[in-house]
Amino acid sequence: MTEAKAAADRLVKAKRLNALLTPVKELRKSLTEQALAARPTGVLYGMPVAVKDNICTLEFTTTCGSKILEGYRSPYEATAVAKLKAAGALIAGKTNCDEFAMGSSTEHSAYGRSIHPLDKARVPGGSSGGSAALVAAGAVPAALGSETGGSVRQPASFCGVVGIKPTYGRVSRYGLVAFGSSLDQIGAFGRSVHDAARVLSVISGRDPKDATCEDRDPLRLPTVPESLQGFVIGLPREYFPPDLDPAVRRACDRAVRLMKEQGAAVREVSLPHTQYAVPTYYVIAPAEASSNLARFDGVRFGPRADGATDLRTLYRRTRGEGFGPEVRRRILVGTYVLSAGYYDAYYRRAQQMRALIAQDFRNAFDRGVDLLFTPTTPTPAFKAGEKLADPVAMYLSDIFTVTANLAGLPAISLPVGRVKGLPVGGQFIGQAFLEDEMLEAAYALERAVPATEEA
Amino acid sequence: MSVTRDDVLRIAQLAELEVEEDGLPALVDQMSRILDYIAQLSPATGSNGLRPFVPGPDAIRFQPDEVKPWPLAFGPEKFAPAFKDGFFVVPKLDQFE
Amino acid sequence: MGGGGGGWETVIGLETHVQLRTLSKMFCGCSAAFGAAPNTHICPVCLGLPGALPAPNGEALKLAVRAALALGCTVHAKSIFARKNYFYPDLPKGYQISQFEQPLATQGSLSFLAPERGLVTATIVRLHVEEDAGKSLHDRFPKATAVDLNRAGVPLIEIVTGPDFRSPQEARAYLQTLKQVLEYIGVSDCDMEKGSLRVDANVSVRRAGESALGVKTEVKNINSFAYVEKALGVERERQVAALEAGGAIAQQTMLYDSKDNAVRPQRSKEESHDYRYFPEPDLPPLVLTPEFVAEQQSLLPELPASKRERFVAQYGLPRQDAAVLTAGRAVADYYEGVVHAGAEAKAAANWVMGEVLADAKDHAEALRVPAAALAQLIGLVKGGTLSHQAAKRVFGELANRGGDPRTIAEALGVIQVADPTAVAGWVSEVLGTHANEVGRYKSGETKLMAFFVGQVMKASKGKADPKLAQRVLEEKLAP
């Protein structure tokens, strides 16, 4: 009971971040009810976990940061949420995000932007900015986010927390409102690798409700390794371009040195198709999104536009009014690249390029590399408004993260330093379904790296 | 490979999206920029004839044929914008036969 | 009428959608049963709620593969589900999960008896699996459409032929044969009234002798086999009239209106359909092992054509009769049950084609008399215990009340007397009182035998076995 009150109080204190979409009164009431019902034998018993608002919960509304789902209460909950509850966790409200997870700053939410915990002029990243900000501010020990192109790792990097994206198929997508179906995964935020990993472990595992979820047991957490002896870490040269922000480079170099000191072997590798990753992503994700978002039509659920006396007007007005500009752009781009005459040049070509990108990773791993290490983002958190003028400018901030989504590989971002007080993240990209090796390396780096020190 | 105003209107129709007249020029410009950006994929060599990559299981695993629906905590009378006599209600399609 | 009146040839291709007989839907565990109150067989998946995902039904695939095998198709080891994107209120997700570039099966065939051309083999170009949409009712509320999603997600197979039919009658004959095959293998009810079989047709015409195909239109909204013939006839006439008047055929969709037997263009939408097919990212590839396919093959029953030929050979039946008996599997199995229970094949055929089918027609196709009982009944007639007329009465009782044929016959008092002494007695009585006719018979009027048999029947109050009576009479009247 007191835990529930304390959890609510901590979230209320972080109100200024505009990261939580759930009204305080409803949050308090629900936390109290949930605390009474929670399973005391669960491994996450009593742990408040905030959930990104594109994940369906029975508690609270699910708006995906959009007006088209304003006030929508889902009549079912996501498998990941059910698993959290079965483990005794408390669902500590829904967090703000870019509308339908489309964005890299949480500025594209219909409910206002979220604010970086350390600098109110800056963005916390996106699309899972609300979840990252709350964890970074200490308002909640862990949170769920989702990734399509880096939307957990990038805000984790910006906010100075740990963010994990599992292998595609590790965590059920049932109840995650689909954006890019072949890219989407639910991920976890925590203040430490251990917290994030614990949550990920609970939500992972087979689910007959998701045909793309692999028939595997939940993730088993490794123990913290004594050293990194035997680990071969690859540094892909395409992620350390000559024009990389020097402070980010310094922080990553320091991290690499600390890994070597723990016994890791480090090698340069090449992922030659990296330059095509962002355009490939921005063909595939919008294409799938344009189809996934067709169900938002005002017919069966959600608000409906007023005054439409014929069906087509109902559709166009509901969707035109309900979707924000970034979502509309992506739906249009996606529709275009799938349309007759353009499918081969865009969508089919992008899927083929995706095969090459995945092949790059396989080649690196086949040559004896266990894990890759790279900066998570090219820069620390940017200022609000800085990247809104040109949509492509925003897309380019995904440059180091989209590849793991395209290849379906697990990845983790953890803070490796500060640049003028702003957090910088470094990421490991692991082999498919070998999250345990990736987590071992992350544990080892975490204990050594001075995450809050200037690089 | 820029898009024209007519292209955007045609796509908007396919996507059932209302596009405001005054927002149209900016939208055309933004769409053109995005499509020009992703068009760099087209001449990329070595990708012709390659099998697409999609992550996830290699083959479908089937569910048994039994009447066991996934749970719905409450029915459409609670979440539908218009529901009458057990039916979802929508305005008629203008050109219905 | 017919295919080529006035020097024009009609070319028809058919797309048939068939609902598969599963308990649950294609991608979720909701009931697939017909006739429930609206929107009661729904869940997040078939409602298309945000975050829901498809979970494929294995039985649907098995039935689809069996259908493909029965139609002689190549079943592909790997096929892909694809999204067909368009907006309509009874399509909850805004796309239908179907198959496009890599369907389940291709290159099959189905032979059928065409009224004018004899045996025709239609090519089955493709057979693929997809989900059904819900139902839109446009007349329930004023100025509005009512949507029922019970049907959304029910498994379908789509069967596409080549442009193989040359008349509306052929199209209908093909459909009836297709229905028969699919019913035989138990994959569907194929009931056009319940919507478990739906047909869209592609129709074009060309001058007789031309090899190029004319512009085709699609004809939809055909709700029975009879309307198939009518609708295609009407469209054919429309096209011929247009071309003869010097016009051209527009490629468009025509809707059939059964009320006035006319076709009208579906008022064209602003843009033609661009379905933007792409592989369904929520479903891995459909991979079938050779063992799986072999198992489905082994589960196929004997198909109608083979069964018909076997009946001709095994039971010595004329092909026409064999066709009637093998029209439906239930009747065919019943017939064989009667024969295996000891009935003579031809007698059994007559009884099944006659009394049994007539009774079934009035009782929702139920075969009310157990095969063994009918076999016994037939045996009683053959053995002279019952006349055919009496047996029909007994059959009626068996159908309504069940029981044992002999017991019923006794209760009805229709057991024929085959006791030679009794019959001899009646014969003597008759011969004794008809000396004149006896004389005439002995002088050559042998057709008086019928008269004597009639008199014996009268004397016995209908109970004498007429065949036995005739034998005794012949004996007694022998010179």
Domain boundaries, chain B: 1-43
Report chain A residues whose CB lies below 8 A from the CB of C276. Answer: 290-291, 335, 338-340, 343
Smallest CA-to-CA distance from C53 within A94, A407, B63 is with B63
Q: How far apart are CA A308 and CA C287, in angstroms?
A: 45
The more confidently predicted of residues C461 and A167 is A167
Q: Which of A127, A172, A201, A413 is catalytic?
A: A127
Architecture of domain C420-477: Orthogonal Bundle (1.10)
> Confidence band (pLDDT; 50, 70, 90) for B97?
very low
Nearest beta carbon to residue A310 from set B34, B78, B94: B94
Q: Is the pLDDT of residue C412 over 90?
A: no
Neighbours of C373 (CB within 10 A): 21
Report how far Cα C252 is from the mean position of its chain's Cα atoms: 32
Average pLDDT over residues A197-222: 97
Name, in order, each residue with C-beta under 8 angstroms of A315's C-beta and a sequence gap of 6 or more: A297, A298, B16, C87
Q: Is residue A29 among the annotated active site residues? A: no
B54 part of contact set with chain C, CB < 8 Å: yes
Q: Is residue A209 among the annotated active site residues? A: no
Q: Is the pLDDT of residue A276 over 70?
A: yes
Q: How far apart are CA C84 and CA C128, in angstroms?
A: 13
Asked if residue A127 has a cis previous peptide bond (ω within 30° of 0), the answer is yes
What is A273-322 written as a DSSP string?
A: TGGGHHHHHHHHHHHHHHHHGGG-SSSSSS---TT--SHHHHHHHHHHHH
pLDDT score of B39? 85
Is the CB of B37 less than 8 angstroms away from the CB of A308? no
Q: Is the pLDDT of residue C38 over 90?
A: yes
pLDDT score of C225? 93
Average pLDDT over residues A398-421: 97
> Confidence band (pLDDT; 50, 70, 90) for A426?
very high
> Confidence band (pLDDT; 50, 70, 90) for B68?
very high
Q: Which residues of C touch A (CB under 8 A)?
A: 44, 47-56, 83, 85, 87, 89, 92-95, 143, 145, 147, 149, 274, 276-278, 281-284
Q: Is the confidence metric ipTM above 0.90 for this complex?
A: yes
Average pLDDT over residues C78-83: 98
Nearest beta carbon to residue C143 from set B54, B68, B92: B92
Average pLDDT over residues C142-162: 97
A295 part of contact set with chain C, CB < 8 Å: yes
Q: How far apart are CA A203 and CA A223, in angstroms?
A: 19
* Among A residues 262-291, those touching chain B with beta carbons less than 8 Å apart: 276, 279-280, 282-283, 290
Range scoring the smallest mean pLDDT among A207-216, A378-387, B37-46, C248-257: B37-46
pLDDT score of C130? 98
pLDDT score of A73? 98
C298 part of contact set with chain B, CB < 8 Å: no
pLDDT score of A395? 86
Q: How far is A113 from chain C (nearest CA, A)?
A: 23
Average pLDDT over residues B5-34: 91
Q: Which amino acid is at C43?
A: C
Asked if B79 and A72 count as a contact pair (C-beta separation under 8 A), the reply is yes
pLDDT score of A316? 94
Share of chain C above pLDDT 70, in %: 98
> Confidence band (pLDDT; 50, 70, 90) for B44?
low
Average pLDDT over residues C391-417: 90
Q: Is the pLDDT of residue C418 over 80?
A: no
Q: Which amino acid is at A5?
A: K
Smallest CA-to-CA distance from C283 within A295, A212, A285, A181 is with A212
Q: Is the dihedral of CA B77, B80, B81, B82 positive or negative?
A: negative
Q: How far apart are CA A176 and CA A183, in angstroms?
A: 12
Asked if A151 and A184 count as a contact pair (C-beta separation under 8 A), the reply is no
> Confidence band (pLDDT; 50, 70, 90) for C466?
confident
Q: Is the pLDDT of residue A235 over 90?
A: yes
- Cα distances (angstroms) measured from residue C253 to each of C222, C260, C265: 13, 18, 6
Q: How many residues does chain C have?
A: 479
Residue-wise pLDDT for C313-361, tens only, equals 999 999 999 999 999 999 999 999 999 999 999 999 999 999 999 999 9
Sequence spans of domains, chain C: 5-292, 302-410, 420-477
Q: Is the pLDDT of residue C404 over 70?
A: yes
Report chain C residues whose CB lies below 8 A from the CB of A101. Answer: none
Q: Is the pLDDT of residue C1 over 50?
A: no
DSSP-based three-state secondary structure for C205: strand
pLDDT score of B45? 53
Q: How far apart are CA C470 and CA A224, in angstroms?
A: 106
pLDDT score of B48? 62
Q: Is the pLDDT of residue A254 over 90?
A: yes
Nearest beta carbon to residue A212 from set C49, C94, C284: C284
Show the tokens assigned to A208. 């007959």
Q: Is the pLDDT of residue C208 over 50?
A: yes
Q: How far apart are CA C121 and CA C111, in angstroms?
A: 4
Average pLDDT over residues C428-437: 89
Average pLDDT over residues C388-411: 91
Show the tokens assigned to A157. 């990097």
Average pLDDT over residues A193-200: 98
Asked if B83 and B77 count as a contact pair (C-beta separation under 8 A), the reply is yes
DSSP-based three-state secondary structure for C155: strand
Q: Does domain B1-43 have CATH number 1.10.3470?
A: no
Name, in order, each residue with C-beta under 8 angstroms of A29's C-beta and a sequence gap of 6 or more: none
Asked if A442 and A221 count as a contact pair (C-beta separation under 8 A), the reply is no
pLDDT score of A411? 98
Name, in order, each residue with C-beta under 8 angstroms of C116's C-beta and a sequence gap of 6 or more: C2, C3, C167, C169, C170
